[in-house]
A and B are shown apart, each in its own frame.
Chain A
């Protein structure tokens, strides 16, 4: 079983839709949770960072962590064509080791 599971998609939504991206994990020792956005032929860029259960909001983006279910989500409100990218979840354990999901490809259609 992989440490981090992420549905690769692809996901295609109309402009303005609410997008939900998800990852599950198996290791309860993960302490930090991140979402990265990667545009085509570019390196990943950090989007959201959280270390506790609950919600964290940043503009149109909300990161949600449920440690009891070992489940994290990224919600994008009022999605825009510029949100079209691959989104990777990442988690860090107590030994500061990073584990990445394989990424979900998102296309927002104008």
Chain B
């Protein structure tokens, strides 16, 4: 069974804090993705990575950065959290365009 895990289910942070969201997959997948999900807007791609140390911007990268130092781990960083970054964050992985597998999500609240 593919397993994608995320470091936290719920997080509450203050405006201006630096926030790290970690994602780990155990199936040796090449591709990893970070999405945010908001009511009425669906899933929006923030960043993705096709390989270690590789990163590509998605549709809404502003205010975020990522790090992929190891194949199984993909981190999302909010450099200076703002209230409009309150959202559900979902990590996913896949093997070259086949079905994506999602983690359980991190519900982030920025106050």
- Give residues in A with beta carbon < 8 Å to B: 8, 32, 34, 36, 41-46, 49, 88, 90, 92, 96, 98, 100-103
Contact = CB atoms under 8 A, between A and B. Distances in A.
A102 B40 CA distance: 7
A96 B56 CA distance: 14
Contact of A103 (B4, B33, B42, B107): B42
Interface stretch (B11-19, B64-72, B75-83, B92-100): B92-100
Interface majority SS (helix, strand, loop, mixed), chain A: strand
Contacts of B100: 46, 90, 98
Instruction: Across the A-B interface, give the 8 residue pairs with the lowest CB-CB distance, nearest first.
Output: A96-B97, A102-B42, A43-B102, A100-B43, A43-B105, A43-B104, A44-B102, A46-B99
A45 B102 contact: yes
Interface of B: 4, 31, 33, 40-43, 45, 90, 96-105, 107
A24 to B, nearest CB: 15
A76 B100 CA distance: 22
15 contacts: A8-B40, A32-B97, A34-B99, A36-B102, A42-B105, A43-B102, A43-B104, A46-B99, A49-B99, A92-B97, A96-B31, A96-B97, A98-B33, A100-B43, A102-B40
A34 B100 CA distance: 10
Q: Which of B42, B45, B98, B100 has the most CB of A within 10 A?
A: B42
A88 B97 contact: no
Contacts of B103: 43
A100 B42 contact: yes
Contact of B96 (A88, A96, A98, A102): A96
Q: Which of B96, B100, B101 has the most CB of A within 10 A?
A: B100
